Amino acid sequence: MAQILSPQLASEPHLVATWQSRLLRSMLKNRSLAIGLLIITSLCMVALLAPWLAPHDPYLQNTANRMVPPVWHDNGSWTHPLGTDRLGRDYLSRLIFGTRISLFIGIVVALISGLIGTTLGVLAGYFGGRVDAVVSYLLTTRLAMPVVLVALAMASLIGGSMLTVTLLLGLLLWDRFAVVARSATLQLRDAEYVQAARALGCPLPYILLREVLPNIAGALIVVATLEVANAILLEATLSFLGMGVQPPSPSWGLMIAEGKAYMFFQPWVIAIPGSALFILVLAINLLGDGLRDMTTSGGRHE
């Protein structure tokens, strides 16, 4: 994939504006990208404005109002549009603040795992030989370890918390980044511009950061979107099993776990956070599919 902005575009503002307008049109033509970006942008705004959007304190308990049904039920009330949980906490407020936790963990995990995997993959693809053999061994070792089981074991030893889950998942989900970065770097290490940089005596960090990395960034961005969705689902799984985000934090996985005892009588306690989790992961996957289509077709869509 070509670098995002050439020197000519960077030096001529009217060319930059033309490039931006073409990019915007291609994004709007890609329905998956447009829908995913719209949903994710809306959820990010909800997360940022959570203190002002939430009608109640998400941690405030009121056992007198426990298990109030949503407003569409007969006994529902607009005071609590999505009802309350077993401790009388407002479900809508907890759902809004839970968006922060899911997005934070997903993004930070993708950054940590992306940094580790991209570094290993680029080094393995560029140098080859023994470096490639060592990285391949580490990759094989990582793939032999089930993520959920390892995360559960480590969380049980260290103690579950949002920080623990974020670090564990970040240290376990780097394999896709490494595979993609390695294969892409193998194709680019003998490219003319990389050879020209070597001939000019450019230092190795310059070659890797300025010549190789920008040209594999498109593929890595697509992997990052998939890993964000994967991290959010794994966080919800660990929280559901009691080894992730701990009470009283309003994690969506924890909300599902707290409502499982009432699923046959008040199914909305599971359906609401489950639907929110489904929508978020679906939007991230749509965004990833759209970015993949744009990078593979150069932004052209019929």
The 10s digit of each residue's pLDDT in 64-106 is 888 888 998 888 888 889 989 888 899 999 999 999 999 999 9
| Model pLDDT, residue 10 | 45
Flag whether pLDDT at 298 surpasses 90: no
Q: Using the Cα atoms of residue 113, residue 116, residue 118 and residue 120 in order, give the sign of their dihedral.
A: negative
pLDDT digits (tens, 9 = 90+) for 268-294: 899 999 999 999 999 998 888 888 777
What does the alpha-carbon distance between residue 76 and residue 276 come to, in Å, rounded to a whole number? 20
Flag whether pLDDT at 42 surpasses 70: yes
Three-state DSSP class for residue 212:
helix
Contact at 8 Å (CB) between 97 and 48? Answer: no
How would residue 17 be classed by pLDDT, with cut points 50, 70 and 90?
Answer: low
How would residue 9 be classed by pLDDT, with cut points 50, 70 and 90?
Answer: very low
Long-range contacts of 98-101 (CB under 8 A, 24+ apart): 98/250, 98/251, 98/252, 98/255, 98/273, 98/276, 99/43, 99/46, 99/47, 99/50, 99/276, 99/280, 100/47, 100/50, 101/162, 101/235, 101/245, 101/249, 101/250, 101/251, 101/252
Averaged pLDDT of the chain: 85
Question: For the CA atoms of the chain, what is the radius of gyration?
Answer: 23
Flag whether pLDDT at 195 surpasses 70: yes
| Structure-model confidence comparison of residues 133 and 8, the more confident one | 133
User: Quick one: DSSP state of residue 247?
Assistant: T
Flag whether pLDDT at 167 surpasses 60: yes
Q: Using the Cα atoms of residue 212, residue 215, residue 220 and residue 221 in order, give the sign of their dihedral.
A: positive
| Structure-model confidence comparison of residues 265 and 283, the more confident one | 283
Q: Which tokens go with 117?
A: 């995997």
% pLDDT > 70, the chain? 88
Q: Using the Cα atoms of residue 240, residue 242, residue 244 and residue 246 in order, give the sign of their dihedral.
A: positive
Three-state DSSP class for residue 73:
coil
State the average pLDDT over residues 156-171: 89
Q: What is the rounded end-to-end Cα distance, in angstroms, of the chain?
A: 20
| Model pLDDT, residue 19 | 46
| Model pLDDT, residue 13 | 54
How would residue 116 be classed by pLDDT, with cut points 50, 70 and 90?
Answer: very high
Cα 120 to Cα 86, 103, 146, 232, 279: the distances in Å are 47, 26, 20, 24, 33
> From the centroid of its chain, how far is CA 291?
14
Cα 10 to Cα 3, 262, 295, 300: the distances in Å are 12, 59, 21, 22
Q: Which tokens go with 125?
A: 């693809």
| Model pLDDT, residue 301 | 39
Flag whether pLDDT at 1 surpasses 70: no
